[in-house]
Structure 1
Amino acid sequence: MRPGSLLKAAVAATAATGLLAGPLATAAAAAAPPAHAAAPLLPVIVRHDGTGAAEAAVARTGGTVGRHLDLVGAFTAEIPPGALAALTGAPGVRAVTPDGEVRLQADTWNADEDQHSLYSLTQSIGAQQVWTATDAGGARLTGQGVGVAVVDSGIAPVAGLDAPGKVVNGPDLSFESQTPALRNLDTFGHGTHMAGIIAGRDTGVQPGQEADRKQFVGVAPDAHLLNMKVAAADGAVDVSQVIAAIDWVVTHRDDPGLNIRVLNLSFGTDSTQDQRLDPLSYAVEAAWKQGIVVVVSVGNDGLAETRVGMPAQNPNVLAVGAADPLTTADRADDVVADFSTGGDATRHADLVAPGKSVVSLRVPNAYIDAAYPQARIAEDPAQRYFRGSGTSQAAAVVSGAAALLLQQRPDLTPDQVKTLLTSTADAMPAGDVVAQGAGQLDIAAAVQAPTPAASTRTYLPATGLGSLELSRGTSHVADPDTGAELTGEVDIMGQAWTPAGWAQVCTTGTAWDGDTWNGRTWSGRTWSGSNWAGRTWSGRTWSGAVWDGRTWSGRTWSGRTWSGRTWSGQTWSASSWS
């Protein structure tokens, strides 16, 4: 998808957070302040090249430099409002963003009073009602026994995701996999946010008491999660890594203890390639045909955009748009969120789910936490939660709902799950007619509906014989030393992409042979098929010295290190973190 620039609203953390280290710096004295210097100063965040030129540029405007945010290569500053344009184009300045404020609004945060909390969300979609029902064996419908693969930026074992068996680590396919201290962990913050929505559960929640407004509980609180990390701390990921992760999930879906029935892909590209040719589209279709419900986000390009992201263009998978509750508990006035990609009559969201300002779990000092401190729930004394908007969040909601259905009826096919969720969705009278698809998710109605007949869909099958480069769209990773982008028909290992050969093994679920994918061994990790284990968590915060580009040892991948494309790779950002 193309969710928008990750740096739209970056703000500095206050000194009170204690999460961002860095000395206070004083700007060099300006020679002669401009005439507008007496006007109220504008707080900004300045991203810089590390040479000191940006600090000097601030001084020339008559502004002052504040706290250095080494974690994100930036510093806070105050400048005359009229100097914003000049500073933006000054030497050494990479970007200038107006700063924001973090204000405490109350002594406590009440989940039942926030229409975007997981408590309110699960109540709205009918999940709390489902949790009181039982499956054929008498177990309550909370997702027990169902595995959900999360192909994302990793999952941090923060509270709510730290119970034994909750998260199973698959292979880390990200650029951080060769740094042991980072392997499988979420240094970006997006994957943990999705995981919390899908299956978060505080350890203090008693069985049968999941609808506890004082605890954090996801949509399918007893489902387990397969952590497939592909994105690094800056969100950098190549489409070949995502395809490799999907192939791994398919190959290992029935391994002991996994039972992967749902794959959450809150990701997409702006590929303009026909979905029948696109390799990413083919990979999700192959997973679908192997019995995995693939839930994907349509993208965050806005209601006027007529082309959904790839692989949401594939008509087989479950494509999800975002609903906005407009801060009310009454679903009758809900609309499709203005950032949700509208699509057209041929392909649009199959249904929508809550995706506006959703409150989920925070990873202290991960990239988005450092860049968007205003997204933290300031009223929460424990500072556990983070607010984000996007079709990413909406897809996670639907993945959790699919897990509930699959516990109730394990024999459902992906097509039957899709039919149940779309046929029982609630129409949105105030919502965009095309963008809402079948309407808004109602999992309580889906659980009560009869099992539909087997699908008779007649979509032309995908071939996967298209271009890997076209599948990337406009998002590329780059060598940080030379700036050269990874392009062409090669994966991140530098291995040639042979569509026909890959498509054959992808179809049969045999794309992975041990540690080998596409003819190369993907090493740099400790995963082994007989020894999955979650990493321990000591409540520590991340520091730039631990996970910045200088510590990566990715050169053993293919002779060069890949990084994000100057923050314009767009792939893993939500529409906004606020």
Structure 2
Amino acid sequence: MLAAVAAAAGGATAAPAHASTPVSAPSGTEDVIVSGQPGALSQVEAAVRAAHGTVRSTLPVIAGVSARVPAAAVAQLRQAPGVRAVTEDAHGHLMAVDPTLGYDVQKDPGSLFLAAQVVHANTVWGKGVTGKGVDVALIDSGVAPVQGLTSGNVVVGPDLSFESQSPALVGKDTFGHGTHMGSIIVGRDAAATGSVYAKADSHQFVGIAPDARLVSIKVAASDGAADVSQVIAAIGWVAQHAHTDGFNIKVLNLSYGTNSAQDPSVDPLDYAVEQAWKAGVTVVVSGGNDGTTHPALADPANDPMVVAVGADDPNGDPAVGNDTIPDFSQHGTALRSVDVVAPGVHVLGLRLPNGSIDQDNPGARVGSRFFRGSGTSQAAAVVSGIAALYASKYPTATPDQIKDALKKNADSPTYTKKLFTGLGVPNADKMLGYKPNPLAVQAGVASGLGSLDAARGGSYVTDGVSTLTGEVDIFGRPWNPGAWALATGTGTAWSGGSWLGTTFTGGALGADGNWTQAAWTATDWNSRSWRDSGWDSRSWRDSGWDSRSWRDSDWTSLSWRSAGWDSVSWRTGGWSDASWADASWS
């Protein structure tokens, strides 16, 4: 990595390498780029000083610095806490910034094209497999109609978030996480052929499965607020609608998790994902981002049936052999570890201008369109894209067979513990030649009869006055695990737009091709057992949407929740820019 990456992050076009004559490092010293683990910039700076070096400039986009250090201290510096890599600072050789995208497509360590090379998706595109015919459900914060998600392969599904009651915000991402994930899975600037997607000089942003279709189910509001019962309801909606209303949902991306310690055999969140799996949907779940303090997998990645994904650091190189696993990535235990890992460090995805995380983390912006993030969320999105490619090639493959193909065709980093990597990084090209295995069959373990409150893992939504706790759902209704599990298992929990008998959303696709919305009537939630007067996204918040659930270290864990975030700005000045005019939301 070169010092010029700082210019690339701002979207500037690099000047010619010979514009100035670099000054060589004095004898006995070396000029280096020290990149850090996500969020470890201060540790990197301290490590350079401890090595008797000098920080020449900071490079926030890689949590690193340009430094001059004693040559004899380089090896020691590579082992320092928080340090990801130490490479030569090759003066004058600036990154070849793509004038359209604003970053070096092939050399930027977070380039999605580089991620595609790591998992060999670009090779698969060149063979004509691009995800066409497959729908990928995304349960998240919604998606925004930014360039890269407006070429006709996004369906706005039901909005189960607190913002669903604001007509101007229905289905729209006001947070930024869902837009980022969606872009990694199916992003594309324009529909094209696989051979065009596979070109490094196409000057277009391309996700892992660019011709798959995204079905967005919104559960999180502008501050990330959502209760686990909303997520459970969303998973149930996917299971029941996977093959109705013109959908062909073969993959569900769930970049979400709680710190629940409840046994998966009774946990309702685990039961929900298992029922989606049995409905023919491959559920891909992020392993969690508390690896330094909580190595066990988050819930529901802890369920043995789903595809649990950890983060991989390619270190700027398409080859997997030298990859490492970032400290934040929860890898699991000997009883249940991640199944696979995928690129999840400094990943460039689409930015939601003026979104919550965008406003809080301007340093993560790259040019005007992109945002840099790290986490198992991004890694799960990459794997969801790979699963969609395989399902496109083998449309009758079951979730068990898709999981088997992901694991049996993975490349393992050479110097990393198997516990941390699972079977390794899925190789989409190898998978293409691996026919679905008829012997790949799993059995579910969950009954769903456990505690809803325990599934929250200590993460609660609050309106600032009251907190939703105990065995009640989002509408304050008593939670009946037996009745819910039976209805979910028999595919009757949803009827039209009602979930367990209460109106939650609309009941069909509208004329615009997106899902309709319905009001939460007073009889649905008034006078319930928790406060009923605060259904305003300005006040809703959930401390759980931080490092335990949605953390992405390029925007710090605290920015995943913001008690002071005011949704009024999304109704007035925040949406006044021409590119965000009401017409663009049609």
Q: TM-score range by the shorter chain?
A: 0.7 to 0.9
Q: Structure 1: any 5+ residue segments left out of the alignment?
A: 1-103, 134-139, 536-551
Is 1:486 aligned to residue 473 of structure 2? no
1:283 aligns with 2:279: no
Aligned pairs for 1:120-131 within 5 A = 120-131=114-125
Residue aligning to 2:496: 514
Q: 1 or 2 for the larger relative contact order (CA 8 Å, sep ≥6)?
A: 1
* Aligned-residue offset at 1:444: 1.0
1:561 aligns to what?
534
Contact 2:401 2:441 in 1 (8 A): no
Q: Quick check: 1:415–1:454 contact (8 Å CA) kept in 2?
A: no
C-alpha distance after superposition, 1:323-378 (max 9, x if no partner): 0112333321101121100211001100100000100100101001000111111x
Q: Give the residue type in structure 1 aligned to 2:296.
A: R
Aligned to 1:468: 452
Taking a change above 3 Å as real, the CA distance of residues 507 and 208 of structure 1, as seen in their structure-2 partners, is same
- d(CA) in 2 for partners of 1:182, 1:335: 40
The alpha carbon displacement at 1:230 in A equals 0.2
Q: Which letter maps to 2:387?
A: A
Task: Say what the alpha-carbon RMSD is for the aligned residues.
Answer: 2.3
3-state SS, counterpart of residue 342 of structure 1: coil
Q: Does residue 179 in structure 1 map to residue 157 in structure 2?
A: no
Partners in 1 of 2:544 and 2:306 — Cα distance? Answer: 27
Query: What is the alpha-carbon distance in structure 2 between the residues aligned to residue 491 and residue 128 of structure 1?
Result: 43
CA contact (8 A) 1:205 1:212 kept: no
The corresponding residue for 1:168 is: 155
Which letter does structure 2 place at the counterpart of 1:461? V
SS of the residue corresponding to residue 387 of structure 2 reads helix
Indicate conservation of the 8 Å contact 1:351/1:441, yes or no: yes
Q: Do structure 1's residue 449 and structure 2's residue 400 form an aligned pair?
A: no
Aligned partner of 1:112: which letter?
Answer: Q
Which residue among 181, 186, 190 is the counterpart of 1:194? 181
Residues 1:343 and 2:327 are matched in the alignment: no
Residue pair 1:147, 1:224 contacting (<8 A) in 2 also: yes
1:262-318 Cα distance to aligned partner (Å, 9 max, x none): 000000110010011111100000010111000000100115633210001110000
1:35 corresponds to which residue?
Answer: none
- Scaled by the length of structure 1, the TM-score of the pair is 0.73
The 2-side partners of 1:301 and 1:418 are apart by 24
Superposed displacement of residue 205, structure 1: 4.3
Between the aligned partners of 1:197 and 1:221, the Cα distance in structure 2 is 9
Aligned to 1:352: 341
What amino acid maps onto 1:430 in structure 2?
Y
Unaligned runs of 5+ in 2: 1-93, 527-531, 557-586
In the alignment, the residues of structure 2 paired with residue 261 and residue 288 of structure 1 have an alpha-carbon distance, to the nearest angstrom, of 9
**Residue identity matched to 2:297:** V
For 1:414, give the aligned amino acid. P
Change (3 A) 1:418 1:258: same
Q: CA deviation at 1:423?
A: 0.8
Give 1:518 shift. Answer: 2.2
Does 2:151 match 1:159? no
Is the contact between residue 460 and residue 543 of structure 2 (CA under 8 Å) also seen in structure 1? no
Shift of 1:527: 6.2
* Residues 357-368 of structure 1 mapped to structure 2, 5 A cutoff: 357-368=346-357
Letter in 1 for 2:170: R
Distance in 1 (CA, whole Å) between partners of 2:396 and 2:360 is: 44
Q: Which residue pairs with 1:65 in the alignment?
A: none
How many angstroms apart in 1 are the aligned matches of 2:514 and 2:362? 27
Q: State the Cα distance separating 1:218 from its structure 2 match.
A: 0.4
Query: Helix, strand or coil: the match of 1:112?
Result: coil
Question: Is the 1:511–1:517 Cα contact (8 Å) retained in structure 2?
Answer: yes
Task: Please tell me whether the aligned partners of residues 193 and 362 of structure 1 are also in contact (alpha carbons under 8 angstroms).
Answer: yes
Residues 374-432 of structure 1: per-residue CA shift (max 9 Å, x gap) = 1111xx3xx10110000000000000000000011111110110011101111112223
SS of match in other structure, 2:419: coil
Query: Is 1:574 equivalent to 2:552 in the alignment?
Result: yes
Q: TM-score, with normalisation over the residues of structure 2? A: 0.72
User: What SS class does the counterpart of residue 336 from structure 1 fall into?
Assistant: coil
Structure 1 Cα separation of the partners of residues 351 and 440 of structure 2: 39
1:533 is matched with which residue? 513
Which residue type is aligned with residue 405 of structure 1? Answer: Y
Q: Summarize the Cα distance change of 1:208–1:554 in structure 2 as closer, same or farther, 3 Å threshold.
A: farther
Q: Contact conserved, 2:135 with 2:247, CA < 8 A, in 1?
A: yes
How many angstroms apart in 1 are the aligned matches of 2:292 and 2:113?
28
Q: CA deviation at 1:533?
A: 3.0
Q: CA deviation at 1:319?
A: 0.4
Report deviation, 1:565. Answer: 4.3
In the superposition, relative to structure 1, how do residues 267 and 568 fare at CA in structure 2: closer, same or farther (>3 Å)? closer
**Partner-residue secondary structure (3-state), 2:106:** helix
Q: Cα distance, 1:211 vs. partner?
A: 1.8
Please state how far the C-alpha of 1:445 moved relative to its aligned partner.
Answer: 1.0
Residue type of the partner of 2:496?
Answer: G
Q: Does the CA-based 8 Å contact 1:235-1:573 persist in structure 2?
A: no
Match of 1:409 in 2: 394
2: distance between equivalents of 1:528 and 1:344?
42
Matched, 1:119 2:101: no
Letter in 2 for 1:510: T
What number of residue pairs does the alignment pair up?
444
TM superposition shift of 1:116: 1.5
Aligned equivalent of 1:504: 486
* 1:386 maps to 2:371: yes
CA distance 1:249–1:155, change in 2 (3 Å): same
Quick one: percent identity of the two aligned structures?
48
Residue number in structure 2 paired with 1:9: none
- Alpha carbons 2:245, 2:509 under 8 Å: kept: no
Distance in 1 (alpha carbons) for counterparts of 2:444 and 2:147: 45
Q: Is the 8 A contact 1:170 1:532 kept in 2?
A: no
Who is 2:580 aligned against? Answer: none
Partner in structure 1 of residue 235 of structure 2? 246
Asked if the contact 1:150–1:226 (Cα under 8 Å) also holds between the matched residues in 2, the reply is yes
Given that 2:496 and 2:507 are in contact with CA atoms closer than 8 Å, whether structure 1 keeps it comes out as no
Deviation at 1:251, TM superposition (A): 1.1
How far apart, in 2, do the equivalents of 1:448 and 1:123 lie?
17
SS in 1 for 2:195: coil
Cα distance, 1:218–1:376 mapped onto 2, change above 3 Å: same
